[in-house]
Amino acid sequence: MAAGIREKQTVALKRMLNFNVPPVKNSTGEPVWKVLIYDRFGQDIISPLLSVKELRDMGITLHLLLHSDRDAIPDVPAVYFVMPTEENIDRMCQDLRNQLYESYYLNFISAISRSKLEDIANAAIGANAVTQVAKVFDQYLNFITLEDDMFVLCNQNKELVSYRAINRPDITDTEMETIMDTIVDSLFCFFVTLGAIPIIRCSRGTAAEMVAVKLDKKLRENLRDARNSLFTGDTLGAGQFSFQRPLLVLVDRNIDLATPLHHTWTYQALVHDVLDFHLNRVNLEESTGTESSPAGARPKKKNKKSYDLTTSDKFWQKHKGSPFPEVAESVQQELESYRAQEDEVKRLKSIMGIEGEDEGAISMLSDNTAKLTSAVSSLPELLEKKRLIDLHTNVATAVLEHIKSRKLDVYFEYEEKIMSKSTLDKSLLDMISDPDAGTPEDKMRLFLIYYISSAQVPSEIDLEQYKKALMDAGCNLAPLSYIKQWNLFSRVMNTGSQFVMEGVKNLVLKQQNLPVTRILDNLMEMKSNPETDDYRYFDPKMLRGSDSSVPRNKNPFQEAIVFVVGGGNYIEYQNLIDYVKGKQGKHVLYGCSELFNATQFIKQLSQLGQK
């Protein structure tokens, strides 16, 4: 598992695009062209991993959505990458009947059922196209990898597996079953791609437990079926440099509701919180000029720009976890170094002009030519660097504007203090009734965090006061009602206590561990802690499906996967990364059923509170 999950998924995709034959490195190979057809799920999976240029390099001339109007392009092989749903299958059968392409390579994102396979067979026979269907594969890639060590389940049908869907009071058993099945299916695909069978631990009595039970059952069934097991053969060989199996920690969102509402200070989390950031793409709206337009003229149009923040962006990789002021400084530094290099190239030009007349020494002339060649070849790098600097300047400026207008730094400081139980120098009421600090939503978030993390329930009078202040500020009180109900259920989970605080610097992230990180730490290091001691323990490889909570393995784990059922966000991810940085040789992957920022979470809470 030394290679990240991102690499594994990319390798699997590239192999699929190469007609499921491992690609051979051949610089002078003949071009082979093909057409790629995907549905929205496939699009979400492919877009963070492969750019259009990389698709081109693999020989893909066209990439189209399954349900768009497609014309017949005969004598071209077509690679399909779709989910095996009814409508997709129907459309594929239609394609077969219309003879759109020369040969068909069908790849299903998750396993297809036998009956649907027969439907396709039927259509193929009807269209006399059985020989054209060259290969059919189950790819088991039903998850979206965003970073080297972070993955999300799905982006398209987020509402089906959202926090709200799972925690609705009026949910029926069948609905719950379907949701759990979707989650388990994706987790199963994840482990197939990873090539390892984990040891599962989960807390009791939560949705996470249901997921764990089902996942355990599915893995067990697959292992029993020795003929078709997905975990034998070369998959195990590649991933077995460590003889340990990874640890899968399934947690439910309900252990820590404060973190998604938290105002944050690191670059990536800020971008996600403040701007429109999906699947590693950020959409900025830029207004083109701030002068007042004359009366009667049309309003100035705003430019929408979107940027991709990928792993090839070195600045992003280095700074996505750093606090915002550091980021601003680094952008300045990069800009300066870029200017220095640009001057270097310009200076070369003047040197060339002077020494061009000197014909004497051979070596000096060849040196000049070499310098020129190196300058020319470094130009693309310089241009790329400039583009990145521009990109980050724009993004950082947008974020900064938001921070300034909403006074997010004040909120951040205040919340940190609340969550770490130090004394508050400004009362909560003042913060809420302050008119120019933040949107009503920010105030709501602040109050909810206070409510969740306070040790005892604030008295009724106080509550009324707060409520009135919140209403004056224009907030919707529905989330509050939901949190109240939630509190009644789970007062046992004492999230407020036990924070470890190190260092007291203003506006710098303190090294405190969020609840999820703490749980992971306990489980990985086999520490005994009342919180995690009664977590259930599942081992799919064991013959007897036991229910014991006694772990058989006493050694600390080297690799772990944390999966949050009900939604996660970048703050937790960043916290985990920071935790792992301090430990040598440990790898942690973070996954969640959906990724939301505070705004979306508040919306879900208010929907829940309104019921």
Partner 1 sequence: MAVDITLLFKASVKTVKTRNKALGVAAGDSAKDELLKRSAARCKSDFTSRAREVISHIGKLKDFLLQHRKDYINAYSHIMSEYVRMTDTERDQIDQDAQVFMRTCADAIHLLRTEAHKGVQSAQVKEHRSAVLDFIEDYLKRVCKLYSEQRAIRVKRVIDKKRLSRLEPEQSNVSTSPLSPEKSSLNPFDDSEEKLSAEETKDRNLPDAQSNVGLWGDGKGEDELSPEEIQMFEQENQRLVGEMNNLFDEVRQIEGKVVEISRLQEIFTEKVLQQETDIDNIHQLVVGATENIKEGNEDIREAIKNNAGFRVWILFFLVMCSFSLLFLD
Q: Does 128 bind partner 1 (CB under 8 A)?
A: yes
Q: Which two tokens stand for residue 513?
A: 């561990």
Q: What's the distance, CA 421 to chain centroid?
A: 31
**Residue in 114, 227, 544, 554 binding partner 1, rule: CB under 8 A:** 114
Q: Compute the distance between CA of residue 345 and CA of residue 340 in angstroms, rounded to an integer.
A: 9
Q: Which two tokens stand for residue 93?
A: 């059968």
Q: Which two tokens stand for residue 10?
A: 């990319």
**Residue in 40, 51, 85, 121 binding partner 1, rule: CB under 8 A:** 121
Q: Does 61 bind partner 1 (CB under 8 A)?
A: yes
* CA dihedral sign of residues 157, 163, 164, 167: positive
Of residues 16 and 45, the one with the C-beta less far from partner 1: 16
**Residue in 36, 82, 96, 120 binding partner 1, rule: CB under 8 A:** 120
Of residues 131 and 427, the one with the C-beta less far from partner 1: 131
**Residue in 80, 81, 140, 535 binding partner 1, rule: CB under 8 A:** 140
Q: Does 136 bind partner 1 (CB under 8 A)?
A: yes
Q: Does 70 bind partner 1 (CB under 8 A)?
A: yes
Q: Provide, rounded to whole angstroms, the least separation between the CB of residue 390 and partner 1.
A: 18
**Residue in 365, 382, 429, 463 binding partner 1, rule: CB under 8 A:** 365
Task: Report in angstroms the alpha-carbon separations of 380 from 91, 315, 405, 452, 570.
Answer: 44, 17, 38, 52, 33
Q: Does 6 bind partner 1 (CB under 8 A)?
A: no
Q: Does 369 bind partner 1 (CB under 8 A)?
A: yes
**Residue in 130, 171, 471, 504 binding partner 1, rule: CB under 8 A:** 130
Q: Does 582 bind partner 1 (CB under 8 A)?
A: no
Q: Compute the distance between CA of residue 517 and CA of residue 539 in angstroms, rounded to an integer.
A: 22
Q: Does 259 bind partner 1 (CB under 8 A)?
A: no
3-state SS assignment for residue 83: coil
Q: Does 73 bind partner 1 (CB under 8 A)?
A: yes
Of residues 29 and 474, the one with the C-beta less far from partner 1: 29
Q: Which two tokens stand for residue 139?
A: 């790819």
**391-421 burial by CB neighbour count: b if 16+ within 10 A, else e?**
bbeebbebbbeebeebbbbbbbbbbbebbee
Q: Compute the distance between CA of residue 38 and CA of residue 409 in angstroms, rounded to an integer.
A: 43
* Exposure on the CB side of residue 382, measured as CA atoms within 13 A: 17
Q: Does 92 bind partner 1 (CB under 8 A)?
A: no
Q: Does 54 bind partner 1 (CB under 8 A)?
A: no
Q: Provide, rounded to whole angstroms, the least separation between the CB of residue 362 and partner 1.
A: 6
Q: Which two tokens stand for residue 127?
A: 């269209």
Q: Does 605 bind partner 1 (CB under 8 A)?
A: no
Of residues 112 and 255, the one with the C-beta less far from partner 1: 112
The secondary structure element, H or E, covering residue 365 is helix 362-406
> What part of residues 8-47 is at the interface with partner 1 (CB under 8 A)?
12, 15-16, 20, 27-28, 30-31, 33, 35
Residue pair 249/560 in contact (Cβ under 8 Å)? The answer is: yes
Q: Provide, rounded to whole angstroms, the least separation between the CB of residue 132 and partner 1.
A: 11
**Residue in 65, 90, 94, 122 binding partner 1, rule: CB under 8 A:** 122
Strand-by-strand arrangement of the 144-147 sheet: 144-147, 150-152, 587-592, 559-565, 247-252, 199-202, 536-538
Q: How many residues bind partner 1 (CB under 8 A)?
A: 61
**Residue in 87, 90, 94, 118 binding partner 1, rule: CB under 8 A:** 118
Q: Compute the distance between CA of residue 215 and CA of residue 170 in angstroms, rounded to an integer.
A: 25
Q: Does 454 bind partner 1 (CB under 8 A)?
A: no
Q: Which range touches partner 1 (CB under 8 A), out of 131-139, 475-483, 547-555, 594-602?
A: 131-139
> What part of residues 277-306 is at the interface with partner 1 (CB under 8 A)?
none
Q: Does 376 bind partner 1 (CB under 8 A)?
A: yes
Q: Which range touches partner 1 (CB under 8 A), out of 44-52, 322-330, 358-366, 531-539?
A: 358-366
Of residues 100 and 184, the one with the C-beta less far from partner 1: 100
Q: Does 237 bind partner 1 (CB under 8 A)?
A: no
Type of residue found at 274 = V
Q: Does 373 bind partner 1 (CB under 8 A)?
A: yes
Q: Which long-range contacts (CB under 8 A, 24 or more apart) does 230-233 make?
A: 230/140, 230/192, 231/192, 231/195, 231/196, 231/197
**Residue in 1, 48, 49, 59 binding partner 1, rule: CB under 8 A:** 59
* Exposure on the CB side of residue 149, measured as CA atoms within 13 A: 21
**Residue in 156, 303, 312, 366 binding partner 1, rule: CB under 8 A:** 366
Q: Is 183 exposed, middle or buried (0-12, 13-18, 19+ CB in 10 A)?
A: buried
Q: Does 258 bind partner 1 (CB under 8 A)?
A: no
Instruction: State the angle between helix axes of 324-355 and 362-406 in degrees (0 to 180), rounded to the nearest 10.
Output: 160
**If you ran DSSP here, which 8-state letter would residue 231 be given?**
T
Q: Does 195 bind partner 1 (CB under 8 A)?
A: yes
Of residues 139 and 264, the one with the C-beta less far from partner 1: 139
Q: Provide, rounded to whole angstroms, the least separation between the CB of residue 318 and partner 1.
A: 30
Q: Which long-range contacts (CB under 8 A, 24 or more apart) does 399-407 make?
A: 399/267, 399/270, 399/271, 399/274, 399/275, 399/324, 400/324, 400/328, 402/274, 402/275, 403/270, 403/274, 403/324, 406/437, 406/438, 406/439, 406/442, 407/436, 407/437, 407/438
**Residue in 138, 175, 409, 531 binding partner 1, rule: CB under 8 A:** 138
Binding stretches for partner 1 (CB under 8 A): 12, 15-16, 20, 27-28, 30-31, 33, 35, 56, 59, 61-62, 64, 70-71, 73-76, 99, 102, 107, 111-112, 114, 117-118, 120-122, 124-128, 130, 133-140, 192-193, 195, 228, 230, 234-235, 362-363, 365-366, 369, 372-373, 376
